[in-house]
Amino acid sequence: MDLKSLIRRRLSHESLPHKLLSQSQLSPSQSKRFGSDAMTITKILLASVVALPILFVFSVIIRISPSDRTLGFADARVLEHRAQLNSTRLGLDSAGAFSHSTEKSNEKLLGGLLTSGFDEAACASRYQSFLYRKISAYKPSPYLVSRLRNYEDLHKRCGPATQAYKSALEKIHSGHKLGSMDCKYVVWISYSGLGNRMLALASTFLYTLLTNRVLLVDRGNDMEDLFCEPFPEKSWLLPTNFPLIDQFNSFDQKSPHCYGSMLKNNVVDTSTESVPSYLYLHLVHDYGDHDKLFFCDDDQSLLAKVPWLIVKTDNYFVPSIFLIPSFEEELSKLFPEKGTVFHHLGRYLFHPTNHVWGLITRYYKTYLSKADESLGLQIRVFDTRPGPLKHVMDQILACTLNQKLLPEVDMQDSFVMPIENPKLKAVLVTSLNSGYSENLRNMYWEYPAMTGEVVGVYQPSHEEYQQSEKQMHNRRAWAEMYLLSLTDGLVTSSWSTFGYVAQGLGGLKPWILVKPENDTTPDPPCRPAMSMEPCFHAPPFYDCKTKRGIDTGALVPHVRHCEDMSWGLKVVDGYDEL
């Protein structure tokens, strides 16, 4: 019933006694006057009822201070981002609506990391990811954004099917560099498991940016199936007719064009004027001392002359890039917050294809979207025995309960008064084994949480062993890494590149489960990460100037040894100025 109907009904009841004096009993003049008075009263009442709420609202607005109104607008804006409310429901004026639209567009493009203009239907994840992820606390530097736009222009000019690319291919057939070249290239060979590949590719892209080259990506078995194109107009995928593509699987430390091997055999040195048209860089975990000279300035001067660099690696070698003096100034401008390299480059490069995005969004909406808080639990056990292993389960509980990541349960099974609106906590478990999540799920089903929270435990898959060669396995692995990155907090396993990817994409500093020894639960069971950066598992320990061994984890404040691997290196947020 609307306001006018309510007034009419109330007035009809109030005039009931007067109906005893019907208009037929009154004189025409009385009837006319009475009708006129009644209409006047009705209008006055109607105007009063309409005006009073307006005056009340106006008085409330007058009483609210400007700072309160600003805070309310900010809260509403966050609410809109979380629940995707229509802007009209926020009561924005035209200026506020414009500001809100600009901010939302900036969030959609991840603070400028991404560029507009892509076909949204072809890769839904590129422009939808901000709807599922909290706004990052780490903003890309304006200089990084500018360099990414410049790189995209370079890629358009030099990418596959361009005249520059065709001219560069001719240099490979010649055997030696001939004349000047407008475009130089880094070709990344798809190698190892998915987590390793993503870390290695991000590292290679950073090197590409620093050396003003063009990145071309070997398709491998599934790169097209897992990732959208990150660059506009020209593909990042290496054409299938690339002349060296059939040799990729056989490239190793002994290959004739392997840079380390050529140095070792004195085929080239840093003073060489005539350089080959291409070199193979073996940066895999088993690389030798001569291969590691890649991380020396003098060698970079030689490599800068080579048109084509073919890279095979399974490492996140960014920390050692930070130790090359000629790159220091540029890296400082690209990443003022040094511990954000993979966070920014990973979100720029890696967009799930529509099939993988469907796996992610359906699972998120079904199990995670309604939670007040979520915790990711990434469990990787480097043990061939079937799980769950008791000492690992004890370690998981010790870490999550001691650090208040999960609530304690009442093992006495005493009655706990139900809370009217309990907090819902979702725990997302990723593991090759289902036993760990089942134990957690049973614990929170059989015993009440001491806090009154309701804890749901979910695990998307449990494939028992890694199957990197299978398409669906890698789709699920990519989806689970992404889902972990959407959680509010994260616990990861030592040495696991799976966890590194998740923490980097999510901008999360996880609690890292200490690698167990001798089937015993470590004490402490976990430790906090220094930064969200991945660990470089096989760094060189060599001083290029003195040409002798050195602890490369003690040279600068922003490159330290990893929490989970004592000999590894990672970039942290050092406060020195380069």
Distance (Å, rounded) from C-alpha 297 to C-alpha 271?
A: 13
Residue 464's pLDDT is what? 59
Closest CA to 256 of 184, 188, 183, 310: 310
Q: What pLDDT is recorded for position 470?
A: 72
Q: Read off the pLDDT of residues 519-543 as tens digits, 9 standing for 90 and up.
A: 999 999 999 999 999 999 999 999 9
Q: Find out whether 204 and 317 touch, Cβ atoms under 8 Å.
A: no
**Other CB atoms within 10 Å distance of the CB of residue 207:** 24
Contact 90, 69 (CB under 8 A): no
Write the pLDDT tens digit of every residue in 297-350.
999 999 999 999 999 999 999 999 999 999 999 999 999 999 999 999 999 999
Residue type, 105: S
pLDDT value of residue 182: 86
**65: Cβ–Cβ under 8 A, 6 or more apart, which residues?**
none
**46-55, 286-295, 441-450, 481-490 — which is least confidently predicted?**
46-55
Identify the pLDDT of residue 416.
66
146, containing H or E segment: helix 142-158
Strand partners, 278: 308
Q: Provide mean pLDDT across the span 255-266.
A: 96
User: Could you give the residue ranges of the DSSP H alpha helices within 254-340?
Assistant: 259-264, 297-303, 318-321, 328-334
Handedness of CA 469, 320, 531, 338 (dihedral sign): negative
Please give the pLDDT value at position 271: 81
Instruction: Round the average pLDDT of the chain to a whole number and report it.
Output: 84
State residue 387's pLDDT score: 81
The predicted structure's pLDDT at residue 508: 98
Is residue 295 within 8 A of residue 267, CB to CB? The reply is no
- pTM value is 0.82
Band (469; pLDDT cuts 50, 70, 90): low
Mean pLDDT of the 21-41 span: 41
pLDDT for residue 364 is more than 70: yes
The pLDDT, as a whole number, for residue 260 is 97
| pLDDT band, residue 250 (cuts 50/70/90) | very high
Q: Rounded to the nearest 5°, which phi and psi values hold at 99?
A: -60, -45
Indicate the DSSP class of residue 123: -
Tell me the pLDDT tens digit for each residue of 196-229: 999 999 999 999 999 999 999 999 999 999 999 9
Rounded (5°) CA angle 209-211-213: 75
